[in-house]
């Protein structure tokens, strides 16, 4: 594995399994720096034969990935950076998720805390996800910010669950616990929290130890559904909302009320819903 310097990731490797620990205090918000480091890591190991499985986990027991940084609209330089080298037909957040989905290694999320918005899209983009009962949670809470998901969720969720359930997740904007997420197909399994580490370590090691060629053959033979023009539809409808002045004003009010703070993020849906109701 190429030695690279990271400030928001900690990388370890053992027996062809790379473990990526996300460490972006205070709540692992998905900002430009973190997205750039994840992309850089994925590129660095893309053709590495000594890496067969990548496990993503969090240094923060409460938050896997909070969501995309809500202050990005106030950072024009950061937005320009995100737009660099984005494939035609995708917005930067879709491109980030698709880079995860296209990785040749098996990608696994070990979800012990909360993942919302772009963080939940990250979970849906990887090959497998396992979550801790009583601790993990997933939410597409963008509707409470006056927008829809813009990083692939409309496509990924509709491949993992029925249309009605995908719309429930997107428009209901509630936090799904691990058991409900498993029932709906958002994740592979919900496991007792005490068993999560050992289970993920075992399945990652077992996959990494398979004979040469098996992983690549399986990933080719079990394709993901091609969204066709789905990303374009998602991006168009997302952009029609996200660049509205009223959305920016709403997000600023939500930030002022405590979004992107540890206390506010523990019950983010309640906070967002309360500000949104008073803003309408």
Kindly tell me if the per-residue pLDDT of 2 is higher than 60: no
Give yes or no for a contact between 153 and 125, defined as CB atoms under 8 angstroms apart: no
Query: What domains can you pick out in the chain, each with its CATH number?
Result: 9-212+222-279 (3.90.226.10)
What's residue 63's pLDDT? 98
Task: Quote the CA–CA distance of 177 and 179 in Å, as a whole number.
Answer: 6
Task: Quote the CA–CA distance of 172 and 165 in Å, as a whole number.
Answer: 10
Kindly tell me if the per-residue pLDDT of 75 is higher than 90: no
225 compared with 243, residue with greater pLDDT: 243
Q: Which two tokens stand for residue 261?
A: 């703070």
Give the mean pLDDT of 199-222.
Answer: 97
pTM of the model: 0.95
Instruction: Give pLDDT tens digits for 180-194.
Output: 999 999 999 999 999
Continuous H helices in the chain: 32-45, 76-83, 92-101, 118-125, 153-160, 163-167, 178-184, 193-208, 214-221, 230-242, 245-256, 262-266, 268-279
Instruction: Give pLDDT tens digits for 40-74.
Output: 999 999 999 999 999 999 999 999 999 999 998 77
Give yes or no for a contact between 269 and 174, defined as CB atoms under 8 angstroms apart: yes
Lowest pLDDT segment from 117-126, 134-143, 164-173, 216-225: 216-225
Cβ count within 10 A of residue 213: 8
Instruction: Give pLDDT tens digits for 82-102.
Output: 777 888 889 999 999 999 999
Q: Across all residues in the chain, what is the average pLDDT?
A: 94
Instruction: Give pLDDT tens digits for 133-159.
Output: 999 999 999 999 999 999 999 999 999
């Amino acid at each position: 594995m190429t030695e690279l310097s990271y400030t928001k990731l900690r990388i370890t490797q053992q027996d062809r399994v790379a473990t990526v620990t996300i460490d972006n205090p205070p709540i692992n918000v998905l900002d430009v720096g973190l997205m750039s480091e994840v992309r850089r890591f994925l590129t660095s190991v893309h053709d590495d034969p000594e890496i067969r499985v990548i496990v993503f986990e969090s240094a923060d027991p409460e938050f896997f990935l909070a969501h995309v940084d809500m202050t990005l609209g106030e950072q024009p330089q950061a937005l320009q950076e995100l737009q660099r080298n984005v494939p035609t037909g995708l917005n930067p957040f879709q491109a980030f998720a698709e880079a995860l989905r296209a990785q040749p290694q098996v990608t696994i999320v070990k979800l012990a805390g909360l993942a919302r918005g772009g963080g939940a899209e990250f979970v849906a983009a990887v090959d497998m996800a396992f979550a801790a009962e009583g601790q993990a949670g997933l939410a597409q809470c963008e509707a409470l910010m006056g927008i829809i998901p813009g990083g692939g969720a409309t496509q990924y969720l509709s491949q993992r669950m029925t249309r009605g359930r995908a719309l429930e997740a997107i428009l209901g904007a509630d936090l799904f616990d691990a058991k409900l997420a498993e029932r709906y197909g958002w994740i592979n399994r919900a496991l007792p929290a005490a068993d999560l580490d050992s289970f993920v370590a075992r399945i990652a090691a077992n996959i990494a130890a398979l004979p040469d060629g098996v992983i690549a053959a399986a990933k080719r033979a079990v394709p993901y559904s091609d969204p066709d023009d789905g990303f374009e539809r998602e991006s168009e409808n997302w952009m029609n909302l996200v660049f509205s002045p009223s959305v920016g004003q709403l997000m600023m009010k939500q930030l002022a009320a405590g979004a992107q703070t540890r206390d506010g993020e523990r019950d983010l849906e309640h906070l967002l819903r309360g500000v949104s109701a008073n803003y309408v």
